[in-house]
Amino acid sequence: MDSPAVRVGEIEAEERHEHRLPFHEGKPLAMQAVFPVVALLTDAAWIVVSFVIGYYVRFSLGILAPQAQYPTLQSYLPGLAGALIIWLVLLARSGLYQMGQTRCLGDQLAAVFKAGALSFLLFLAAAFFFGDQTYSRIVVAVTWMLTLVLLGLNRTTLLRGVSRWLTRQGIGITRIAVIGKGPHTAKILHNLTYRPPPGIVLLGTIGTGQMNCGDTEIADLGSLDHLGRLLSAHRVDRLIITIPFQHHQRILSVLRECARSRVSYDMVPDLFGMMTTGFQATDLGGVPLLVFRSRPIDGWGAVAKRVTDVVVASMMVVGLLPVLGLVALAILRDSGRPIFFGQKRVGLNNRLFTMYKFRSMRIDAEEASGPVWATPEDPRRTNIGRFLRQWNLDELPQLWNVLRGEMSLVGPRPERPFFVERFREQVPRYLERHKVRAGMTGWAQVNGLRGNTSIEERTRFDIYYVENWSLWFDLKVLFRTLSEWAKSKNAY
């Protein structure tokens, strides 16, 4: 989900209470099994197709040094069976065969890539320790790469269509209500109204009174005093609790009612004004504790992130050379020189660096106004600049900043010194963004916080990234950036 709501658990329901009927009660069991069955069978089929293509590319097409004698296809079948089992088990453990999951497409693609990396390592280990046959590295590599591509396409086409069809039949839908009126309620309602995850239906609010989200009126389901009856009457599957922590007695009563009604719940972290959810659950002699942490990227994590940046940025520069050349020619023809635009930004440890872009505005864009953010239909843009900013092509020269070590592919977006000086006084913990390298894309951006949006919200998401970083988190952000490319209304 795009909001910072975090699952904190489910309480054991009381034995004496009757089990609540799920929303899809009455739907045939076969209908409920359609998605996992179709997903598993089609994934298995694409893995087999990838293997067959890899085998024939290596041994039969004469492309990669064919041998006079080569192993038969049948001799490779045990290896295929092992790889198939490993892939499907890892995909299942990633939750990719569950109907009604709330992950967006970018998160699903990241999960496929993660499962693929683990399956590759496990297959190599199994082949080394347990196999009595040496498998061609080319066959394994081609099979692995094709499988990643085909499983990704499977989720963006067929499985996406199946999921939407089942949702229209009432299968896999999660009915959500929001309870309480805290500092994050409006943001959560906005996300659930305008950027809902697949299969999510926002029923309304409980105990908040009438609320509007833009031009949309959010249904008021009723008073908190009648919570049990409201959960049953509206068949709520999941409750998002945004009650401020100082009202902890009210929170406890809500949790008890969730237990009686068998309703799952999420809580928005508002513990003592903490802005992020950088904590771990532990215990001390049976007493539950929340251990808050601040974990900037260091040690082997910093090395791994830097290596990933250099490798991926180098591949992108080589692959995008034709695009870079065409953009440069278009700018030169449209508004002349300079083609590139350099601007001082604040990066890691508050150090200044020059961030590069393709020039998309007039040369004298800020002579009269001084430092300002871009606006919709900004008159300072050039003709080609509108196109570049709409499709984010003006950001591509920052790959050079990544290779120089001034930026990373993923991280908080850097600001100009003028704005940093203002925000450091106005926004709590703002400078904590600078514990890591600035990024070409970031957790805030893939959650819709681009352009002239709330700096407090952006800071909250940036600090969450700093405190919860991992390579898989970076991968998730990159895939979500691709899946939401050019969709943002704030890209101007």
Q: For residues 250 and 153, state if they share a domain.
A: no
Cα three-residue angle 271-276-282, rounded to 5 degrees: 65
Q: What is the pLDDT of residues 268-282, one digit of tens each?
A: 766 544 555 556 666
Residue with tokens 């004298």: 364
**pLDDT-derived band at 208, boundaries 50, 70, 90:** confident
Supply the pLDDT for residue 453: 76
Supply the pLDDT for residue 327: 92
Q: For residues 105 and 237, state if they share a domain.
A: no
Least confident of 79-93, 283-297, 303-317, 468-482: 283-297
- Alpha-carbon separation of residue 393 from 13, 40, 162, 290, 397 (angstroms): 53, 37, 33, 43, 9
Q: For residues 251 and 152, state if they share a domain.
A: no
Q: For residues 453 and 413, state if they share a domain.
A: yes
Is 292 part of a structural domain of the chain?
no
- Alpha-carbon separation of residue 175 from 1, 23, 190, 208, 263 (angstroms): 14, 8, 16, 18, 10
Please give the tally of structural domains in the chain. Answer: 3
Q: For residues 317 and 222, state if they share a domain.
A: no
Out of 273, 308, 337, pick the residue that ends a domain: 273
Out of 165, 188, 223, pick the residue that ends a domain: 165
Is 16 part of a structural domain of the chain?
no
Q: For residues 150 and 53, state if they share a domain.
A: yes
Least confident of 49-53, 107-111, 301-305, 410-414: 107-111
Structural domain harbouring 66: 29-165
Report CA torsion sign: 56, 60, 64, 66. Answer: positive
Q: For residues 154 and 227, state if they share a domain.
A: no
| Residue 217 region by backbone torsions, left for phi larger than 0, else alpha for psi between -120 and 50, else beta | beta
- The mean pLDDT of 44-55, rounded to a whole number, is 92
Flag whether pLDDT at 294 surpasses 90: no
Q: For residues 91 and 155, state if they share a domain.
A: yes
Phi and psi at residue 355, in whole multiples of 5°?
-95, 135
**pLDDT-derived band at 65, boundaries 50, 70, 90:** low
C-alpha 132: how far from chain center: 41
Least confident of 15-19, 212-216, 372-376: 15-19
Flag whether pLDDT at 407 surpasses 50: yes
Q: For residues 255 and 126, state if they share a domain.
A: no
Q: For residues 320 and 448, state if they share a domain.
A: yes
The mean of the pLDDT values for the chain is: 80
Is 232 part of a structural domain of the chain?
yes
Retrieve residue 6's tokens. Answer: 């975090």
Is 414 part of a structural domain of the chain?
yes
Is 280 part of a structural domain of the chain?
no
- Alpha-carbon separation of residue 166 from 14, 22, 36, 193 (angstroms): 32, 16, 12, 21
Q: What is the pLDDT of residues 354-404, one digit of tens each?
A: 999 999 887 766 555 555 556 556 667 788 888 888 788 889 999 999 999
Residue 247 CB burial class (10 angstroms; 0-12, 13-18, ≥19): middle
Flag whether pLDDT at 210 surpasses 70: yes
Is 190 part of a structural domain of the chain?
yes
Out of 146, 165, 184, pick the residue that ends a domain: 165
Q: Which residues pair with 110 in a beta bridge?
A: none
